[in-house]
Chain A
Amino acid sequence: MKVNEIVRVLDGRLLCGSERSDYTIDVAFASDLMSDVLTLVNDNVLLITGLANLQTIRTAEMSDINCIVFARNKKVSQEMVSLAEESGISLIECRYSVFRTCGLLYQAGVKPVF
Chain B
Amino acid sequence: MDGALHYEYNVEGGDFSRAGYASSQIKKVLKGMNIDPGVIKRAVVACYEAEVNVVAHAYSGAVYFDVESNLIRIVFKDEGPGIEDIELAMTEGFSTASTAVREMGFGAGMGLSNMKRNADRLNIKSEVERGTTVEIIINI
Q: How far is the CA of A79 from the CA of B110 in the complex (A)?
A: 27
Q: How far is the CA of A77 from the CA of B99 in the complex (A)?
A: 21
Chain A residues near B114: list those with CB within 8 A.
35, 38-39
Contacts A38-B45, A39-B110; is A33 near B20 (CB within 8 Å)?
no
Contacts A35-B110, A56-B105; is A64 near B41 (CB within 8 Å)?
yes
Chain A 48-64 residues near chain B, CB threshold 8 A: 51, 53-56, 58-59, 61-64
Does A81 reach chain B (CB closer than 8 Å)?
Answer: no
Number of interface residues of B (CB under 8 A): 24
Does A36 reach chain B (CB closer than 8 Å)?
Answer: yes
Q: Which residues of A contact B (CB under 8 A)?
A: 32-39, 51, 53-56, 58-59, 61-64, 79, 87
Q: Which residues of B contact A (CB under 8 A)?
A: 16-17, 19-20, 23-24, 27, 37, 41, 44-45, 47-49, 52, 103-106, 108, 110-111, 114, 117
